[in-house]
Every structure is written in C-alpha cells, then in structure tokens.
Amino acid sequence: MYRKVLIVILVVAAFAACNSGKNAGGGSADSIKTHVAAPSAPASALNDTGTAKLVKIVNAYYTVKDALVAAKADNAQRAADSLSAAAVSLQGFLLQKEGMPGPYKPYLDTIIMECRAIAAATDKTCEQQRLAFGPMSSALYALAKSTELRHISIYHEFCPMAFNEKGATWLSNESEIKNPYFGDKMLDCGEVLDSLQ
C-alpha cells in the first residue's frame, strides 16, 4: 500500500513539474513576477545612460585593482587604459548633456590623469602604479558618493600601512580584504570603512 501511495505522489509531482511553466492564461511562468522581486538596477543622480557609463568606470576600476592585487603590471596597464576610456566617455557625455564640465569634472580628471600614469609606468613591481592608484581610488569614491551611486556593491576599504604608514584607501566589490597596495606580501591588511549599496 505504501508503494502505491508513493508512486501516486511521484506521478502527481512529475505532472505538476511539467505544467509549472504554464499559467492559466497559457503564458509562461516567467511572465508572472509576483513571488520573486527582481534586483534593483544600478541608479544614481545621473540619467540611465550616465549611470551605465559610471558603472562601466567602476567595473574597469575593479580590473585595475585586481591586477595590482596580483602584482601584474602589464594587466594593470591595459586595465588603466580601459578605465581611462570609460572616464573620458562619461566626461564627454556630461559635457554634451550639461553644456559645461559640471561638478564631477575634477574627479574624472583625476581618474584619467592617474590612469595615464598607471599605463605609462614601466616598473614591473607595480610600485609606481600603486602610487597613482591611491589618488585615483579617492577620486572614484568621491565621484560615486557625489553621484549617489547605489544598487551596486562598493566597499570603501583602507590599509593603514600603505605609503610608509600614511595609509590609503581603495574600492572593492566585496567586503573581503584583498590589498592592492601590498599584494601577496600583506594581502589581508586593511578594513572596510564604508559601503555604498
């Protein structure tokens, strides 16, 4: 008797699974959004196009950061070129939209200038690149805060030992510390200061 009940339950479950993709109107279950909320798209004080360009900058920055964590100077150079192009694109967009440089220009100028320094550095130890990475990180954090960027993971992290114990910050898309100023020498040296969600 137990086996018959178990078989009936399995048949009913299989039948229900086969029909779960259909709703009463004959459409797919994908068209029903009542049970699962979609994650919020990144947003900022900029319009959708400006926000997309800003997110591209942040993602390009993470590539530079990851290259410095791994002490890969060549990768950092290429990533800095991509980041610079993304910053120039946002700056041009804002100039066209606003008709003037706007309040974000100093941050973008710093990001572009420091990216060029990273791309031009010939030191394979990444030390020259890390010197430029510090001010670039501060400028990007200020840009993200001033544009009210949200719905994107940005952790503002700090290493007190960087630059002869003057300290320096960086941004990360995760709370786990992976120090770009020391790489594997002191990979987990640092703390999270703030996060933009």
Q: Which pLDDT tens digit goes with each residue over 58-90?
A: 999 999 999 999 999 999 999 999 999 999 999
Alpha helical stretches, state H, 37-126: 48-69, 73-98, 105-120
Q: How confident is the model at residue 6 (pLDDT cuts 50, 70, 90)?
A: very low
Q: Which pLDDT tens digit goes with each residue over 118-148?
A: 999 998 999 999 999 999 999 999 999 999 9
Which pair of tokens denotes residue 170?
């960086």
3-state helix, strand, coil in the chain (%, to 5): 55, 10, 30
> Which residues 6+ apart lie within 8 Å of 157 measured at CB?
169, 170, 171, 172, 177, 190, 191, 192, 193
pLDDT at 13 over 60: no
